[in-house]
C-alpha cells in the first residue's frame, strides 16, 4: 500500500490533537452554486447543503475550543445576484436561526453578526437581533455571521464613527491610530482572525475582513463548501499548526 500521508483528505484520518489552535477562524464559504450545478440541482439547494456544513463546522469548532468563528454569509456585492437567489439566501438565514437557535444556545454559543444588517429583510433583522440578545451572556464560541458585509464598507463605517468623535473635539488628528480604526469596525472587541479559510479553489478575499486579515494565515482548498467536513477543518488546522508566523520579525 502506498502511504499517502495525513494530508490526503480521502484517507479521512486526520487526528484532532493540535499543539496550537487559532482563537479566531474566518471562513469564506464558497462553491455552493458549483456543488449544486454538478448535481443538476438549483443553486438554492447548494446553499441549503451549505447550511449543513455550517452546522458541522460550528459544532466541531465549539468542541475544539475555538473562541470566534466568522462566516462570510452574504457580501455587499451579493445583491447583484438574481432576486430569487437573494430571497432564497435570506430565507435560509431565518430558517437557520429559528431551527438552530436552541441547539446553539444549549452549546453555550454567542450569536453575533457583522455588516450593515439594516438593508436585510425585516424578518432577518428581527431574528438576528433576538438571537444576539438571547445568547449575549453565553460564554462559549462566538458565531459571527457576516451579512451584507463588505470590508471597504466597514472601513467607511469606522471612519464615519471616528469623524463624529473628531467633530466633537474628542481627539486631534495626530492621535488617530490603528487601534482607533479597529475599535470602530463592526468587529470591535473581536481579535483579528489568525486563520482564514476559503473553499472552492478561489484564491481571493472578495472584500472580506480586509483590515483584520492583514497578518492572518490563508488556507485555500478546492473542496466545495457543502463538502467541507470536520476532517477538512482538521486539515486546515494541521496546516496552520505548521505555519511559521513571524510578523515581520525573525524566527
Catalytic residue among 8, 16, 32, 78: 78
Which residues inside 23-42 make contact with Mg ion, applying CB under 5 A?
Answer: 30
DSSP symbols for 11-48: G-------S---SEEEEE---HHHHHHHTT--HHHHHH
Residue 16 vs 78, nearer CB to ligand IPE: 78
154 contributes a contact to ligand IPE by CB under 6 A:
no
Question: Is residue 127 a contact point for Mg ion (CB under 5 A)?
Answer: no
Active-site annotation holder among 30, 192, 231, 232: 30
Does residue 132 belong to the site contacting ligand IPE (CB under 6 A)? no
Distance CA 25, CA 195 (A): 5
Cβ proximity of 234 and 63 under 8 Å? no
How far apart are alpha carbons 130 and 79 in whole angstroms?
Answer: 24
| Contacting range for ligand IPE; rule: CB under 6 A; set: 18-26, 68-76, 164-172, 238-246 | 68-76
Identify what 113 binds: ligand IPE, Mg ion, none; CB under 5 to 8 Å per kind: none
Cα(25)–Cα(209) distance, integer angstroms = 12
153 is catalytic: no
Secondary structure in 3-state letters for 106-124: HCCCEEEEECCHHHCCHHH
- Give which of 182, 189, 235 is closest to 213, Cα–Cα: 182
| 73/104 with CB nearer ligand IPE | 73
Q: How far is CA 134 from CA 110, 168, 225, 251, in A?
A: 9, 34, 29, 44
Task: Tell the smallest beta-carbon distance from residue 30 to Mg ion (Å).
Answer: 4
Which of 9, 32, 64, 109 forms a contact with ligand IPE (CB under 6 A)?
32
Catalytic center residues: 30, 78
Question: Which parts of this chain interact with ligand IPE (CB under 6 A)?
Answer: 28-34, 72-75, 78, 89, 200, 202, 204, 206
Amino acid at each position: 500500500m502506498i502511504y499517502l500521508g495525513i494530508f490526503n483528505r480521502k484517507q479521512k484520518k486526520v487526528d484532532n490533537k493540535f499543539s496550537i489552535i487559532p482563537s479566531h477562524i474566518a471562513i469564506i464559504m464558497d462553491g455552493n452554486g458549483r456543488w449544486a450545478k454538478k448535481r443538476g440541482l438549483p443553486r438554492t439547494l447548494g446553499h441549503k447543503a451549505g447550511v449543513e456544513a455550517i452546522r458541522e463546522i460550528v459544532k466541531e469548532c465549539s468542541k475544539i475550543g475555538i473562541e470566534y468563528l466568522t462566516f462570510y454569509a452574504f457580501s455587499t456585492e451579493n445583491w447583484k445576484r438574481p432576486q430569487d437567489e437573494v430571497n432564497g439566501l435570506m430565507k435560509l438565514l431565518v430558517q437557520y436561526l429559528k431551527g438552530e437557535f436552541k441547539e446553539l444556545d444549549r452549546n453555550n454559543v454567542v450569536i453575533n453578526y457583522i455588516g450593515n444588517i439594516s438593508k436585510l429583510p425585516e424578518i432577518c433583522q428581527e431574528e438576528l437581533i433576538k438571537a444576539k440578545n438571547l445568547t449575549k451572556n453565553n460564554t462559549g464560541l462566538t458565531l459571527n455571521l457576516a451579512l451584507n458585509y463588505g470590508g471597504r464598507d466597514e472601513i467607511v463605517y469606522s471612519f464615519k464613527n471616528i469623524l463624529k468623535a473628531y467633530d466633537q473635539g474628542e481627539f486631534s488628528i495626530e492621535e488617530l491610530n490603528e487601534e482607533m480604526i479597529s475599535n470602530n469596525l463592526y468587529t470591535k472587541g473581536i481579535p483579528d482572525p489568525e486563520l482564514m479559510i476559503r473553499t472552492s479553489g478561489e484564491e481571493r478575499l472578495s472584500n472580506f475582513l480586509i483590515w483584520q486579515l492583514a497578518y492572518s494565515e490563508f488556507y485555500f482548498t478546492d473542496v466545495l463548501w457543502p463538502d467541507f467536513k470536520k476532517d477538512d477543518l482538521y486539515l486546515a488546522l494541521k496546516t496552520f499548526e505548521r505555519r511559521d508566523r513571524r510578523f515581520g520579525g525573525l524566527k
